[in-house]
Structure 1
Amino acid sequence: MSEVIKNRYDFVVLFDVENGNPNGDPDNGNAPRVDLDTGHGIVTDVCLKRKIRNYVETVKEEEEGYQIYIKEGIPLNTSDAKAFAELSIDEKKIPAMKKEDPTLDKKIRDFMCSRFFDIRTFGAVMTTFVKANLNCGQVRGPVQLGFARSVDPIVPQSLTITRVAITTEKDAEKKKTEMGRKEIVPYGLYRVEGFVSANLARKVTGFTEADLELLWEAIINMFEHDHSAARGKMAVRDLIIFKHDSELGNAPSYKLFDSVAVEKKNAETQARCYGDYEVRIYEEKIPEGVTCIRKS
């Protein structure tokens, strides 16, 4: 059985999109998310976690210990109920059971963490347990992601499209085509930064070395089984990992992130592919006790 991780990690992910919408905003006609002040593109952490969950679900196929808690079509309380069933807990008798067994909260938390990969990784809010006055309803996961932000401002485009398939018979009597719109980013390179806490892994979820390797694999491949016409061509281009020699870390995250620079080769032209950028890691900025690992 794989051991719980003992080292802290910080990481940088570079991914790009070509002629697609990496993360539409439903409050803005599903247009690509943009920082209105700077014009930089944004992809939310929730969107990226969804891709990671989907990859793990695809490759593990409900394997023991790798089920996904937050998934389409499965109410959360259905998954919560599995803990009560497996641990023979009567929801109506929880106060009395907690008096008899002070470790009941920990047993429920450990059960959920051991069964669901995404709880063990990202944590979760399990409302069923919160409402039952259990202290295990909110689990803080060791892996956290920020918002992804494009390296340069993006120029979203709204394209008019036509289709010959008419929605209704009544409309078909009046017209032969229908109009629609497609929101795209012609090209954008995005950067997201993340964190892995060995301290939370040890104290809370039991996130293991095997889980960590699966996480790196999922990040690198998170768009490979998620292609669609709406998202265009998306790919992870680089994964830069900073491994600390200790559980609590040997340097502040920002110093490590500052050592990674992404710049256009020609500042006068609009980037249209990954080759238009240069990625540099300034190793002299990386403090002692931290190792840089690059995966792609």
Structure 2
Amino acid sequence: MSLTKKIDFALIIGVQNANPNGDPLNGNRPRADFFNIGEITDVCLKRKIRDRLQENGEVIFVQSDEKKTDGMTSLKNRAESDEFGLGKKAFEVKKGADKVKQKDETKNLACQKWFDVRTFGQVFAFSSKDGEGSGVSIAIRGPVTIQSAFSVAPVNITSNQIVKSVDSDDKEGKNARMGMKHRVDSGIYVAFGAMSPQLAERTGFSDGDAEKIKAVLTKLFEGDASSARPEGSMQVLKLIWWEHNCKAGQYSSAKVHGSLKVNSDGSYELNNLDGLVPAEIDGF
């Protein structure tokens, strides 16, 4: 059975002397706007959700390079693999075949196999190379959406020049060994998300799947340490979880998210919404 209730959620994230999400187009400095409001992109957050789910034994389609479990070199190879995917035939439409029917069958198989596909959705666009038919393009719209996390106040970014342990090129001299390291000194970030029962009906995302997402959200940064994010420098302080009493939801997501006010010290206030009391869960 697919998701039976609309769900909204919020993450309150604490950052201390870490680079929560570097911008590769800006020297890997922490992402921030003109007013120094920090940002952790939705793509970054979904990457961490996928990683935590994969560590819990779930089958993930979009795997990070350092956490690959199947040796596949690309998403295309993974999708078309007979051992780890659906096989090449699932993504080729032979002449005279019912394209709509095959797309639906492939979509259903993909959603059943990969947790992140039935959660966040995915686009499959593969072409035929044998000349016997046309390729297939499948867009799966996932029921779980998450917004970028933004800091509740401007963040202070510190940049230090460092000496690299390995030269970046063949040139000799001091400059080849110098680099920059950036960090947010301290900050509180907030991200909002939602789960749609209507879209869950199309992918098979269930109440059990929602509980699995709920479980990993509280430990989003465990096992995610790096030089830029030392162990303990990032933490989910609180997960606010609103479960509506119906598929349509008692209130709009905008109104639910707007009922939460987070302060710069990590404390928060919740405005009362009649009939909708959230669970307030401490981070791991």
**TM-score under structure 1 normalisation?**
0.81
| Helix, strand or coil at the partner of 1:277 | coil
Q: 1:121 aligns with which of 94, 119, 122?
A: 119
CA contact (8 A) 1:80 1:128 kept: no
1:150 Cα shift?
0.3
**Could you say if the C-alpha distance between residues 205 and 93 of structure 1 is closer, same or farther in structure 2, counting changes exceeding 3 Å?**
closer
1:126 Cα shift?
1.1
Seq. identity, %: 31
CA contact (8 A) 1:83 1:108 kept: no
* Offset from partner CA, 1:228-248 (integer Å, 9 cap, x none): 121231111111011111111
**Could you say if the C-alpha distance between residues 150 and 168 of structure 1 is closer, same or farther in structure 2, counting changes exceeding 3 Å?**
closer
**Could you say if the C-alpha distance between residues 129 and 150 of structure 1 is closer, same or farther in structure 2, counting changes exceeding 3 Å?**
farther
1:5 Cα shift?
1.2
Structure 2: which 5+ residue stretches go unaligned?
A: 66-72
The 5-angstrom pairing of residues 1-296 of structure 1 reads 3-36=1-34, 38-60=35-57, 66-73=58-65, 74-82=73-81, 89=89, 93-98=93-98, 103-128=101-126, 132=134, 134=136, 137-163=138-164, 171=172, 178-202=177-201, 204-232=202-230, 233-264=233-264, 276-282=265-271, 284=272, 286-288=273-275, 290-296=276-282
**Could you say if the C-alpha distance between residues 116 and 262 of structure 1 is closer, same or farther in structure 2, counting changes exceeding 3 Å?**
same
Two-structure CA RMSD over aligned residues (Å): 2.8
CA distance in 2, matches of 1:93, 1:257: 43
CA distance in 2, matches of 1:263, 1:92: 53
CA distance in 2, matches of 1:206, 1:130: 28
1:166 Cα shift?
5.7
The number of aligned residues is 268
* Greater per-residue helix proportion: 1
CA distance in 2, matches of 1:15, 1:118: 22
Structure 1: which 5+ residue stretches go unaligned?
A: 61-65, 265-275
**TM-score under structure 2 normalisation?**
0.85
CA distance in 2, matches of 1:261, 1:223: 23
